[in-house]
Structure 1
């Protein structure tokens, strides 16, 4: 069995070098807790913004949707637009 060098208690972060499976397990737990916290935050946001909103467009077209659906559509459209703009920049840099 390999003997570990003595470390000061403040330097225990170096233990991740000697125990990578432990640090991976801790990171998995941390990532799961972070995902759960984000999900709960978004769920509470959706519950608080569930009232109906009317979107009016040209020629008398009107849509009545819950506000969270409209926010989700705008967020998704922005994410897709940002992804494709970054993709185009990557493609132009390769040429």
Structure 2
């Protein structure tokens, strides 16, 4: 069963790669990006789409950083509970 899930995951990754590759090949025409101060950048459309995706992902990570740091601070302030003692205590009672 473990090998089956491994192969299914690998098949999903290959399918996703082929889907993105096909998308890139279909959108290989040049797109023009106009910026401030007369700067013009001409690149394939898939490059601009990839950059937009990366900028969106980076923005999401940066937006989560304050919450992450706050939660780590709260966790560091909480006192740690002692680990329960797992040793057995000998008694004089007979075993049942």
TM-score (norm 2): 0.70
Q: Report the structure number with the largest CA radius of gyration.
A: 2
Quote the offset at 1:87 in angstroms: 3.2
Aligned positions of 1:23-34 closer than 5 A: 23-34=1-12
- Residue from 71, 78, 84 that aligns with 1:93: 71
Hey, what's the Cα distance between the residues in 2 that align with 1:59 and 1:77? Answer: 22
Higher helix share: 1
**Residues 14-55 of structure 1: per-residue CA shift (max 9 Å, x gap):** xxxxxxxxx211110000000011001000000011100111
Query: Equivalent of 1:74, from 52, 60, 79?
Result: 52
Instruction: Give the Å deviation of 1:79.
Output: 1.2
Q: Deviation of residue 88 (structure 1)?
A: 2.8
Query: Could you tell me how far 1:69 is from its partner in structure 2?
Result: 0.3
Aligned length: 73
**1:58, 1:90 → 2: CA distance?**
35
Unaligned runs of 5+ in 2: 74-96
